[in-house]
């Protein structure tokens, strides 16, 4: 069954701000929470939908990807929408965190997990057609080379946190609610360091520029997101690293315009060739030339379709088509002889035969003027 639109699930417009999103989520989450609807499978399903929708729309990067690509933005890899959501502690944090000293922003899927990174990359239309293997340099947090990510000086090691007993969370019973919070003593790691590493100050990671090899497949479109798993920031004290997301921006081309897998090209055509017919050669995206047969009497705006001369199709050997649209060019800078020849042509030709469109148009205009006189 097709997924419902996230904005529809929350009952807000697409231009809703964060406060509106949060308010809508709070109200609906309280209404459909399983603790209030025990045994109600419909409420349980709606509650899961709410968490998934809000998890995407509250995050600027995920929201931008969803607005551009819809549900397809999160298919074929990457974090599943709503992953890690749904516990009551999460709902309590979302609804009351601002009032209880919370509101720390984006939740981590595990204590100390490294942050995801975004890298905006510009490529040419030719690169999108051919594909590209390249290297990028990303300022990043990497595992500390001195302590190997442990965070402690050589010869020492972390010990279990006395506050949470190594769980990384503390619990507090309030009525029939059990509220869990990240341990403030160990930051959710479950362990504390008495003798921190001097290189990383106990974090287990250090700032360093990282060089990565990136493969851009042929046929990518503008806005394509590529996930490089575990290439984001290193986690704190050996926790899991985040991911790196490449967002591709295809630069405009001086000759070609792209629409999906097809390419459009506007070509000026000499008046003589348009009148008498002939052939022209046009460039193609694969750095070759294609021959286009132009019939006599060709008018501005006529398109010629070149099958299989368009863009590469992602994960396919096929290609789109190329459409050549001609624009008949009126001669300029005429010599006296050329002007004389055109004058002769004008006298010898019958307008109704050589220019039937203009002849027909002005006939209609004259008829209109005659009707207006009476």
Q: Where are the domains of the chain?
A: 1-107, 109-158+193-250, 256-373
Residue 4: how many other CB atoms lie within 10 Å: 12
> In this structure, which topology does domain 109-158+193-250 adopt according to CATH?
HSP40/DNAj peptide-binding domain (2.60.260)
CA distances (Å), origin 186, targets 125, 146, 164, 328: 49, 22, 8, 74
Distance CA 137, CA 115 (A): 17
Model pLDDT, residue 269: 96
Q: By C-alpha distance, which of 90, 126, 91, 125 is closest to 109?
A: 90
Model pLDDT, residue 329: 94
Find out whether 183 is annotated in a ligand binding site.
Answer: yes
Eight-state DSSP code of residue 306: E
For 298, list phi and psi in degrees, rounded to 5.
-70, 135
Model pLDDT, residue 60: 82
Among all chains, which residue has been given the structure tokens 């490294």? Answer: 114
**Residue 175: pLDDT over 80:** no
Distance CA 105, CA 100 (A): 14
Q: Which CATH superfamily is domain 1-107 in?
A: DnaJ domain (1.10.287.110)
What tens digit of pLDDT does each residue of 303-326 get? 999 999 999 999 999 999 999 999
CA dihedral defined by 218, 220, 224, 226, rounded to 10 degrees?
-10
- List the structure tokens of 97: 């965190």
Find out whether 161 is annotated in a ligand binding site.
Answer: yes
- List the structure tokens of 145: 């080379």
What tens digit of pLDDT does each residue of 244-283 get? 999 999 999 999 999 999 999 999 999 999 999 999 999 9
**Of 95-99, 124-128, 239-243, 354-358, where does mean pLDDT reach its minimum?**
95-99
The answer to whether 273 and 280 have CB atoms below 8 angstroms apart is yes
Residues forming beta bridges with residue 327, ordered by sequence position: 268
Instruction: Please indicate whether the domains covering 109-158+193-250 and 256-373 agree at the CATH topology level.
Output: yes
Among all chains, which residue has been given the structure tokens 């290297």? Answer: 135
* pLDDT mean over 345-363: 70
CATH match for 256-373 among 2.120.10.30, 3.30.70.260, 2.60.260.20, 3.30.450.20: 2.60.260.20
Residue 268: how many other CB atoms lie within 10 Å: 10
Find out whether 265 is annotated in a ligand binding site.
Answer: no
């Amino acid at each position: 069954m097709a997924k419902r639109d996230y904005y529809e699930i929350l009952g807000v417009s697409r231009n809703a701000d964060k406060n509106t999103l949060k308010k809508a989520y709070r109200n609906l989450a309280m209404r459909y929470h399983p603790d209030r609807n025990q045994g109600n499978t419909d409420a349980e399903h709606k509650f899961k939908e709410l968490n998934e929708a809000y998890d995407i729309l509250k995050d600027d990067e995920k929201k931008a990807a969803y607005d551009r690509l819809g549900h397809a933005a999160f298919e074929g890899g990457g974090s599943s929408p709503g992953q890690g959501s749904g516990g009551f502690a999460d709902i309590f944090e979302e609804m009351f965190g601002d009032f209880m000293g919370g509101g720390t922003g984006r939740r981590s899927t595990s204590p100390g997990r490294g942050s995801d990174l975004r890298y905006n990359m510009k490529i040419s239309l030719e690169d999108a057609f051919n594909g590209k293997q390249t290297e990028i340099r990303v300022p990043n947090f990497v595992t500390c080379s001195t302590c190997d990510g442990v965070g402690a000086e050589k010869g020492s090691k972390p010990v279990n946190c006395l506050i949470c007993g190594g769980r990384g969370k503390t619990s507090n019973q309030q009525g029939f609610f059990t509220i869990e919070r990240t341990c403030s003593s160990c930051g959710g790691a479950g362990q504390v360091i008495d003798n921190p590493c001097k290189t990383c100050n106990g974090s287990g990671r250090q700032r360093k520029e990282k060089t990565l090899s990136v493969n851009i497949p042929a046929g990518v479109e503008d806005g394509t997101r590529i996930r490089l798993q575990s290439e984001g920031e290193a986690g704190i004290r050996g926790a899991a690293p985040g991911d790196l997301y490449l967002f591709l921006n295809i630069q405009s081309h001086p000759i070609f315009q792209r629409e999906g897998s097809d390419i459009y090209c506007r070509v000026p055509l000499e008046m003589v060739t348009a009148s008498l017919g002939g052939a022209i050669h046009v460039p193609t995206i694969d750095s070759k030339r294609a021959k286009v047969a132009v019939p006599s009497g060709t008018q501005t705006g006529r398109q010629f379709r070149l099958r299989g001369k368009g863009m590469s199709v992602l994960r396919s050997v096929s290609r789109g088509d190329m459409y050549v649209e001609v624009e008949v060019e009126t001669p300029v800078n005429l010599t006296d002889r050329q002007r004389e020849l055109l004058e002769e042509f004008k006298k010898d030709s019958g307008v109704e035969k050589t220019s039937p469109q203009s002849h027909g148009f002005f006939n209609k205009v004259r008829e209109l003027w005659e009707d207006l006189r009476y």
